[in-house]
Amino acid sequence: MTILREALDERQVEFDAHYHLATALEQRMMLGSDGAVGAVVLSTRHINTIKSGLLVHLYNIEESIMSKAMEFLAASLVAADPRRWTADSLREWLRASAIGSLADSSEDGRLRSIHHSSSQLLAAHIPGPSALKKPSGTWDDKRIGIFAKRMSVNLNLPADLLRRIAKNARYGDKTPLQALAIRRNAIAHGSRSFEEGASDMMLVDIRQLADVVLDYMGYVADAFHNHVENELHLVAL
């Protein structure tokens, strides 16, 4: 099993446990007065809070796998001779190493940054970056696609999955991953409380959303692994 797949599987087990807890508590709430947990009598507001937590948890999995993918790619580049890097690999290394460090926007400041990065490329052992640079914004299928395109990573998504991740009226004409990003941001940044964040969703709706997101992330994890495994980040000898 690959590093990225193993990480995804571990996170999915955690999410499934979280989801099963939510369904068990909801079923217990339906018992009414007999649905107490200790001194707490379960109510809809408790379940709604847990549902918001599930959405944040689901997005956290997506973010975690993409962070690991960026670290995986960066480590693979640093371990290779930069003379073998593809143009895409060099550009993304520079984006993370040089462009990302341009705190001083003056001409001399830009020159210092470029000189520093050029010197690193000539060194016997290239230090960092620890991860490549992500596209700005919250992760969703569009931004994952942008990052994959930058590195010429072929996501190789099957037709059925492309249909499942397409824009859908049930998600406000957004893709499932875009809808998740919007919900997560609203909850995480406080524009919607945890009690309100998923109050219009049933647990089965969250399960269906999770199935799409996790299936998609499985293909993403495999695509980035295969890209490195097949040395597509390097020029063939």
> pLDDT for 200-216, tens place per residue?
999 999 999 999 999 99
The pTM of the full predicted model, rounded to 2 decimals, is: 0.90
The per-residue pLDDT for 236 is 86
Look at 118-122, 174-178, 221-225, 232-236 and tell me which has the smallest mean pLDDT.
118-122
Long-range contacts of 92-95 (CB under 8 A, 24+ apart): 92/132, 92/133, 92/150, 92/151, 93/129, 93/132, 95/132, 95/133, 95/150
Report the pLDDT averaged over residues 96-114: 63
Cβ 210 vs Cβ 19: under 8 Å: yes
Helix pair 87-97, 141-150: axis angle to 10 deg: 120
Determine the pLDDT at residue 107. 58
Could you tell me the pLDDT band of residue 123, with boundaries at 50, 70 and 90?
low
Cα–Cα distance measured from residue 26 to residue 21, given in angstroms and rounded to the nearest whole number: 9
Q: Do 134 and 143 contact (CB within 8 A), yes or no?
A: yes
Residue 92 burial by Cβ neighbours in a 10 Å radius (0-12, 13-18, 19+): buried
Cα 100 from Cα 11, distance rounded (Å)? 30
> How confident is residue 237, by pLDDT bands cut at 50, 70 and 90?
confident
